[in-house]
Chains A and B, each alone.
Chain A
Amino acid sequence: MERDDVIEYSLHTHHSEEDGKKIRKKIYFVTFLLSAITAVEVVIGILWGRSTVHGFWWETIKWFYIALTIVKAAYIVLVFMHLGEERKNLKLMVLVPYLVFMLYLIFILLTEANAVGSVWATHV
């Protein structure tokens, strides 16, 4: 039975052959980018891993890794999962609660681990 109260939003996501070509081009670009970032990460891991680099330079590499990870994650979510093309309220609904909660947990992680670690170091 046909229902006229159900709106098929998915019909609006259809596109033509020419648009398809453009979209595929973007997909291939992101593929290349993600692969290149992974290759860079692995090469750094082999040449300047934690076993060979210490102190300031290791801290720098660590934050570089985290930055690259976030770039990769952003491309996957925004392009592959099409969140970048969704309405702003959907984007915010997905990202904002998650980020607020994770930043809070990271804060808890660092403070509590420092406290617990110092207790272990002095009393155990």
Chain B
Amino acid sequence: MAGHASEHIDSANAWGGKESPFRVSYGKLMMWFFLVSDALTFGGFLIAYGFSRHAHQGEWPIGEETFHSLPFLEGNYPLMYVAFMTFLLIISSVTMVLSVEAGHRMDKKGVIKWLVATVIGGIIFVGSQAWEWSHFIHGSKFGKVELADGSKAVVHAEQFGEIQNFTVQTAGHHYKAGQVLTNKDLDLLHEFQHAIEAGHVKDKMITLHDGSVAKIAKNNDVGMYLVVKEAGAKYELRQHIEGAEATKLYYDAAYSGEAKRIVYGANMERNEYGPRQYANYFFFITGFHGFHVSIGILINIIVLIGCIKGTYHARGHYEMVEKAGLYWHFVDLVWVFVFTFFYLV
């Protein structure tokens, strides 16, 4: 165990050369140096995020309102997905530390077993993050709406009324007049959102990408309400608008024929969740973290090959697993802070 690390050495011997005053190998010490500098980088990012957020006037997006979806399921599951991701990273940290522990007993089979588990956990985490990004970029079915008075509101509803079809009224390059377009012909929701964002929907008439004009047949939404995120001339910050008024305000904006009255999802310029910097920081910080996880998986795979070939066993110690482990735990450590400051607080 750590007996050696805690034994007393007088300062003349400690700093006199030959022996490491820290009683760790060169590689491990350098890994610690690297991790401190990398932690400063991540710290800098989170500080910058905190600065923008603290200086921002008005409402900042709320974690449990922004992240409330699960793959393959409709409905509202606040924070469940990120909770799953956090749990996954904790578990893969545990399998890593079990691998290190097996290394201290020179148990080659144990090291390999737990390292394989760590790699699998890491791959699932990166995959989850890809889904999370995709969902963040594509956004909700309703998007964020700019109301007639200039205020901006997020939209909540129990159910989005399905779009049944578009009936072409004026022919374009592809579609003929009188043709009824369904999901077999084109992705109705995608076309609908695209046209609304571009201001190509006016009075229930949609101008499709080929220039044809069609009438929209859409079911009514259920239980829609708006929450104001930026005050305008009439509506105040955090005001809830419900019922028929909400539906009218929303579709007045959606079917106004004006571009960008409704924003879906996120890109570097605008997003439906909040200020522009919010999405930019989200992409930058979680992206940089995801990059670290990917590199960690690569390092773990390389170390795993070394274990299987018996390189470390022949050396008499599994310190390489320990060094890769330090990096891997650090990635988990960063996620703990990202989880708190991006999703919870």
Contact = CB atoms under 8 A, between A and B. Distances in A.
B209 interface: no
B6 to A, nearest CB: 7
B32 interface: yes
B336 interface: yes
Interface string B1-22: 1111110000000100011111
B336 A72 contact: yes
B87 A35 contact: yes
A10 to B, nearest CB: 4
Contacts of A73: 333, 336-337
A19 to B, nearest CB: 6
Contacts of A8: 25, 316-317
A15 B105 contact: yes
Given A76-B333, A109-B54, A51 B62 contact: yes
A9 B63 contact: no
B340 interface: yes
B3 A12 contact: yes
A24 B132 CA distance: 33
B43 interface: yes
Contact of A86 (B22, B51, B52, B56): B22
A60 interface: no
Given A42-B79, A105-B44, A12 B4 contact: yes
Interface string A86-111: 11011001100110011001101110
Nearest to A83: B32
Interface string B74-107: 0000111001001100110110111011001110
Contact of B5 (A15, A41, A85): A85
A11 B54 CA distance: 49
A79 B333 CA distance: 12
A108 B50 CA distance: 11
A116 interface: yes
Contact of B101 (A10, A20, A108, A114): A20
What class of interface size applies to chain B in its complex with A? 35 or more
B47 interface: yes
Contacts of A68: 340
Given A46-B64, A62-B345, A35 B104 contact: no
B252 interface: no
A45 B1 contact: no
B186 interface: no
A89 B3 CA distance: 16
B22 A13 contact: no
A46 B78 contact: yes
A74 to B, nearest CB: 10
Contacts of A69: 336-337, 339-340
30 contacts: A8-B25, A10-B25, A12-B3, A12-B5, A13-B317, A14-B106, A15-B1, A24-B101, A31-B91, A35-B90, A38-B86, A42-B80, A45-B63, A49-B62, A69-B337, A69-B339, A73-B337, A76-B329, A80-B93, A80-B325, A86-B24, A89-B14, A93-B22, A94-B32, A98-B40, A105-B43, A105-B44, A106-B47, A114-B55, A117-B55
Which 6 pairs of residues, A with B, have the shortest CB-CB distance?
A: A85-B2, A113-B54, A12-B4, A10-B319, A117-B55, A10-B317
Interface of B: 1-6, 14, 18-25, 28-29, 32, 35-36, 39-40, 43-44, 47, 50-57, 62-65, 78-80, 83, 86-87, 90-91, 93-94, 96-98, 100-101, 104-106, 316-319, 322, 325-326, 329-330, 332-333, 336-337, 339-340, 343-345
Given A39-B83, A77-B333, A90-B23, 7 more contacts: A10-B319, A15-B1, A65-B344, A81-B330, A86-B22, A87-B5, A113-B51
